Amino acid sequence: MKKYIIIILTFLALGSCRKDKDITVVVDNEYPTEKYINTSLKGLVVGNRDIPIENATVSTGDYTLKTDFNGYFYFQDIKVNKDGATVKVSKEGYRTVTKTFYPQLNSTTYIQIRMEPGHGSTIINSGDKEKNFGSTNSYASIEGNTFEKDGEKYSGELMVNHFWTIFYKDDFESKYIAHPVGYDKYFNLKGLNSYGIVGLDLQDRNGNEIELGSDNAMELRLIFEEKVQLPENLPQKIPVWFFDDTKDKWIEKAEAVFDEENRYYTVFVKKSGYWNFATPIEIAYSQVAVKSKNDKLLPYIKANLSTKENNYFLSLRSNSDGYVNCFLPKDNNSKIEFLIDNKPIVSNIDPDASEIKLSTIFKVLKTSGDFYNCNDEKIESGYITYFTDTDSMFYRISNGKLEKNIIVSQDMDEVKWFATDLNTRVNTKIHNTHIVDDNLSLENVFLCPEPFAILRYGEERQLLELKGFDYNDPPVLAIVFENDNYYLDLGFFDFKGESDNYNFYNFGYTIIIVNKDDNRLFPVINAEQAINVNEFDNPGMMRGHIEGMAFHKDSGEVIDT
């Protein structure tokens, strides 16, 4: 008689657009001297249709907390691995999700995590009866059967509790199964290419751990759904690793065998703990300097690390100094992919190389001139936004100058700009700027007001003022919070719609709902795609969040929101 847990994982096809260009990349294979840095992490956990998930457990390193009513969490002044740390989010009824973030020293990183309903089921055989108890916290009577517990025979009620997680990238059209490195139970990097981790608890009703004897075992199945095409070069066997708490590392304990007819891997285990379906990979720490053609370091450039053979994927971003810290696998199929404006630039890489040369033209736009408003007043403090159809980035104006150069790709014939003057809180627009050469300077730029909207509401969320909409020239939205003493600058107007009872205003990814009768403002919904406004029959039941930059009314300083 066998006791088993079925774990269902969905494997999706790997695919992306590739385009060869050149940049200069330098690899330094020495390990960093300082492993941890102080940082803060703020984020939002959402489910289907972007509805926030409350009371989800969020952990990173040694820190754990719960999401609030609106799905938010905030780790303040924590110490994490500077080369990449992992956030784990779990809640009963959902798949456990992990996401890697790359911290900056003494600053706050913002992330959003999406959870999906879990697909696991627990089936326990008792005599000749099969019982299905759902995915977690399942009990089964095992009368007439015996298990060994601390060397003694045990019969009675058995509780089976398990969770599992897969690793995938959620901001691309395709999802990438597994991850370039495995994790210990605290989700630290350990050099395994993981297909999924199962956390398994076998307990009696009193919470005492049970270890199955020689005649009994739990069968774990890693199953491919029928509608999913099997990945190419699928291995016939996968090592299964058990996390040894006493040694603080993964120990290879078993081997999962692939059943081609039934489309699953199967393995038998006997004890509670963390079981990892993973293949080992040899990795080397690397620090990659991202440079332009004229040898300038490029900060905040996205980079992806992947291989076709192992089908794993890692998203990276260069830091403020223009360096990417990553783990490169030592195989012949590795490549690093840099993205500018979400357009990939790919080249094969030898992880042992001391220097990697590619070539492309990056336009580094210098801003040596001063910024003025339409009254010829110099702007000392504010923000300027460079944006394309696919990407945007904020640059701070400090003492009348931009803090860093603005980087655009060679595919851009012109650049569009919006700016916000913190002193007057007037949203202004710099019209399209045509790129002439790699060293274009924006000198003595005048920021003249464009049509913009003000949405003002009071303590009871009633709408006090809504003005400035101009459908011929998309405006910027500013929300004034009377009771919270700050302004919120929200991006670009997209469309306006209405139903029988409500008006809808869409600003980029942000939807605002206003009751026609009493002008009551409903919570803002964050949407990743256009949503049919007729679906909002009861906006009062929705929860959401506001995205943007908040400025103090008096000082003009930016406030974290």
Q: Express each pLDDT in 359-371 by its tens digit.
A: 444 555 665 567 7
- The residue extents of the domains of the chain are 1-36+118-360, 37-114, 363-449, 453-559
Domain 37-114: which CATH number of 2.60.40.10, 3.40.630.10, 3.40.50.720, 1.10.260.40: 2.60.40.10
**13-27, 340-354, 432-446, 519-533: segment of lowest average pLDDT:** 13-27
Q: Tokens 């049970």 appear where?
A: 210
Report the distance separating Cα 462 and Cα 239, nearest Å.
60
pLDDT at 58: 94
DSSP one-letter string for 441-498:
B--SEEEEE--EEEEEE-TT-BEEEEE---TTSPPEEEEEETTTTEEEEEEEEEEEEE
pLDDT at 9: 42
Report the distance separating Cα 167 and Cα 197, nearest Å.
9
**Residue 529 — pLDDT band, cuts 50, 70, 90?**
very low
Share of the chain above pLDDT 90, in %: 2
Report the distance separating Cα 35 and Cα 82, nearest Å.
6
DSSP reduced 3-state for 37: strand
pLDDT at 464: 42
Residue length of the chain: 561
Residue 180, pLDDT above cutoff 60: no
Report the distance separating Cα 538 and Cα 499, nearest Å.
11
- Is residue 462 within 8 A of residue 521, CB to CB? The reply is yes
Q: Which residues pair with 139 in a beta bridge?
A: 159
pLDDT in tens, 246-258: 776 778 899 999 8
pLDDT at 458: 44
- Edge to edge, the sheet with strand 108-114 lists 72-81, 36-46, 108-114
Report the distance separating Cα 316 and Cα 313, nearest Å.
10
Residue 299 CB burial class (10 angstroms; 0-12, 13-18, ≥19): middle
Eight-state DSSP code of residue 535? G
User: Between 109 and 349, where is the model more confident?
Assistant: 109
Cα distance from N-terminal residue to C-terminal residue, the chain? 56
Eight-state DSSP code of residue 390? S
Residue 553, pLDDT above cutoff 60: no
Dihedrals phi, psi of 296, to nearest 5 degrees = -95, 135
pLDDT at 393: 58
Q: Which of 33-42, 126-135, 295-304, 462-471 has the highest mean pLDDT?
A: 33-42
Residue 317, pLDDT above cutoff 60: no
User: Between 116 and 544, where is the model more confident?
Assistant: 116
- Is residue 441 within 8 A of residue 363, CB to CB? The reply is no
Report the mean per-residue pLDDT for the chain. Answer: 57
Residue 68, pLDDT above cutoff 80: yes
Mean pLDDT of 145-152: 44
pLDDT at 542: 31
CA separation, residue 131 to residues 5, 92, 124, 163, 418 (Å): 12, 20, 6, 19, 61
- Is residue 235 within 8 A of residue 22, CB to CB? The reply is no
**Residue 326 — pLDDT band, cuts 50, 70, 90?**
low
pLDDT at 63: 92
CATH class of the domain whose range is 363-449 = mainly beta
pLDDT at 342: 47
Those residues whose C-beta lies under 8 Å from the C-beta of residue 90, and which sit 6 or more positions away, are 56, 57, 96, 97, 163
**Two tokens at 58?**
């969020």
CA neighbor of 78 nearest in space, from 100, 55, 54, 59: 59
* Amino acid making up residue 31: Y
37-114 and 363-449: identical CATH topology = yes
DSSP one-letter string for 84-131:
-EEEEEE-TTB-BEEEEE---TTSEEEEEEE--B---EEEEEETTEEE
What is the signed CA dihedral for 224, 227, 232, 237, rounded to 10 degrees? 20
In this structure, the number of other CB atoms found within 10 A of the CB of residue 513 comes to 22
**Residue 92 — pLDDT band, cuts 50, 70, 90?**
confident
**Two tokens at 386?**
């460079």
pLDDT at 65: 93
pLDDT in tens, 403-448: 666 666 555 566 666 566 555 545 455 545 555 554 455 555 555 5
